[in-house]
Amino acid sequence: MFKNVIVKRPCSRITEGITSVPELGKPDYALALKQHDAYIDALKSCGVTVTVLDADEAFPDSCFVEDTAVLTRRCAIITNPGAASRNKEVEAMIPVIRQFYREDCIEYIQAPGTLEGGDVMMVGDHFYVGRSARTNAEGIRQFISILEKYGLSGSEVKLEKVLHLKTGVNYIEHNNMLVTGEFIDKPEFREYHKYIIPEEEAYAANCIWVNEHVIVPANFPKTAQIVRNAGYDVILVDTSEYRKIDGGLSCLSLRF
């Protein structure tokens, strides 16, 4: 069960966020704010306390707080984002994390190691880490050694096409995973029950489990039905403006 969620309001410079899909156009800021309101409401309806941080105009991608930290039940790990324009986002997060974790349980990924939280998928006490353009071998080495210090474990997953690990695979508890594309056949995930998200809805593989509810992006009807059929209460939230800069539901929050 999650008790807490941290989100950060999008800033007006969200239009300058990093994107691999410029053909989708620039995010509409007013609509992005409305969608963020709905995201917060959805989270609250799952019974968590939501801490809402103010927008930070210095960083166009700063609403994607997931990339700045990995919050486990035993420790908090502050990342070292591999995207240069995002690297200093962590500085504003540290004092926030200190409100929830004791100083001696806060750890840091350090250069030359890089790691972004979007590459980390928690399955109980095990953490899968994607080796991506943003998360390097040294970052993964540091991350796994921190986890082991706290009696947790981690393992590397090599990514081929996606931005982050959770772009294409998401754990929704009860041994269930939503998978798409390169993750359908990955041997690392052999032991899980996999729900395959069709190619045309690949974006919607990034859903989040929050206390027996699963938040699914709106307008991906096949995915919503798959998740409903799997027995979960589905909550739809439109993330169209975040999608334009490669952001999904998980990126927008830290859940712990």
Q: Give the residues lining the site for ligand CIR (CB under 6 A).
A: 17-18, 61, 64, 66-67, 83, 86, 118, 164, 166-167, 245-248, 250-251
Give the separation between CA 125 and CA 73, rounded to whole angstroms: 9
What is the radius of gyration, based on Cα positions, of the chain? 17
State which residue, 131 or 233, has the beta carbon closest to ligand CIR.
Answer: 131
State which residue, 16 or 233, has the beta carbon closest to ligand CIR.
Answer: 16
Least Å distance between CB 231 and ligand CIR? 26
**Pure H helices in 45-182:** 89-98, 137-149, 165-168
Least Å distance between CB 203 and ligand CIR? 11
Decide: 5 and 50 in contact? Cβ < 8 Å.
Answer: yes
As given in the structure block, the two tokens for residue 51 are: 């801490």
Question: Nearest to residue 119, comparing CAs of 149, 140, 148?
Answer: 140
Q: How many CA atoms lie within 13 A of 165 on its CB side?
A: 28
Phi, psi of 106 (to 5 degrees): -110, 125
Which one of the listed residues 36, 63, 164, 213 is annotated catalytic? Answer: 164
Instruction: Give residue for tokens 């995930």.
Output: 189
State which residue, 20 or 155, has the beta carbon closest to ligand CIR.
Answer: 20
Least Å distance between CB 85 and ligand CIR? 8
State which residue, 29 or 233, has the beta carbon closest to ligand CIR.
Answer: 29
Which one of the listed residues 11, 46, 63, 251 is annotated catalytic? Answer: 251
Least Å distance between CB 86 and ligand CIR? 6
Active site residue 36: no
Active site residue 46: no
Least Å distance between CB 193 and ligand CIR? 23
Give the separation between CA 232 and CA 118, rounded to whole angstroms: 23
As given in the structure block, the two tokens for residue 156 are: 């590397």
Q: Give me the count of residues in the chain.
A: 256
State which residue, 96 or 233, has the beta carbon closest to ligand CIR.
Answer: 96
Q: Which residues are catalytic?
A: 164, 251
